[in-house]
Amino acid sequence: MSQPSSSSSSPAAPAAKKKVSVGDLAAMRKDGVKIAVLTAYDYSTSLICDRAGVDVILVGDSAAMVVLGHPSTVPIGMHEMAMFCGAVSRGAKRAMIVGDMPFGSYQPSDEKAVGSAVQLIKAGCDAVKLEGGAEMAGRAKAIVDAGIPVMGHIGLKPQTAALWEGYRLQGKTAGSAARLVKDAQALEKAGVFSIVLEMIASEAAELVTSKASVPTIGIGSGPGCDGQVLVLHDLLGIYEDIKPKFVKRYAELAKPMLDAISSYAQEVKAGRFPQEQNTFHMAPGEAEKMRRQAGK
Ligand code: KIV
């Protein structure tokens, strides 16, 4: 692999190197500045997200699906999440890194939850995220009390939805919207600094946002949230198994990637790669010497 270059043709110039903090996100909400959140799972894409001005990089447990090929987020474990978190943290200088706590890493007890959160922080994260409303407020508080910033996640909760009714729109009725407001309030009381609202009817997400005192980050929850989050592979068009309605593909990279990789495979098979410009040679005279010694 070639060495990193300081080429001026990089996608976008970094605005500032100072890390985005919990306080910065609160100020953005107060000033009406929308918060751009995106997932990433490795060093190279983290670098690009950071350069592009993404405020928060979420190392989502969606890695289970888009990186590891599982049918849901349930199977991924702490070891894998910590590895992805470490890689992403080495790529981003400005963006806040939030590590998703995988299924099973916080449900059993407060002690287990704090231990798992500590592991993600040691891996390089600035904060952690866990799924659940009022029922998980105690876990969130235990982690906050240990000094670790926590992002909540309500509405569609993929870790448990996958085990029960599947992926369904939340907040479709006034009663359901009221429960979501209660969930958000319980999390706020526990000390979370932000809450992801996943696949919530936009009117209900707007209500939750207006009642909240911390930034809400929507995914499939309409434009009324304080920020938005998407899964990187969805945005780039390289995960083709599922395409939810809320996803906007800003690129269709699967096809150009397929074309490039097909060209490579064909050129290798045809003996057209590597060429002279891709080849290293021995010092002058050494090749003849080597062949003589080898008896060729
Ligand atoms: O795992 C993930 O990518 C997430 C986002 C979809 C919010 O939790």
For residue range 70-114, list pLDDT tens digits in order: 999 999 999 999 999 999 999 999 999 999 999 999 999 999 999
pLDDT in tens, 40-78: 999 999 999 999 999 999 999 999 999 999 999 999 999
Q: Which amino acid is at 73?
A: T
Residues of the chain with CATH 3.20.20.60: 16-251
Distance from Cα 134 to the centre of ligand 1, integer Å? 19
pLDDT of 12 > 60? The answer is no
C-alpha of 261 from chain center? 25
8-state DSSP, 40 = -
Residue with tokens 């060495």: 3
Annotation marks residue 80 as catalytic:
no
For range 163-179, the mean pLDDT: 93
Distance CA 135, CA 187 (A): 9
Distance CA 194, CA 150 (A): 7
On whether the CB atoms of residues 203 and 12 are closer than 8 A, the answer is: no
Statement: 16-251 belongs to CATH 3.40.50.300: no
> 32-51 burial, b for 16+ CB within 10 Å, e for fewer?
eeebbbbbbbbeebbbbbbb
pLDDT band at 1 (very low <50, low <70, confident <90, very high): low
Distance from Cα 15 to the centre of ligand 1, integer Å? 25
Q: Is 131 in the pocket of ligand 1 (CB under 6 A)?
A: no
> Can you give the pTM of this predicted structure?
0.93
pLDDT of 158 > 50? The answer is yes
Strand partners, 153: 132, 196
pLDDT in tens, 215-269: 999 999 999 999 999 999 999 999 988 888 999 999 999 999 999 999 999 999 9
8-state DSSP, 132 = B
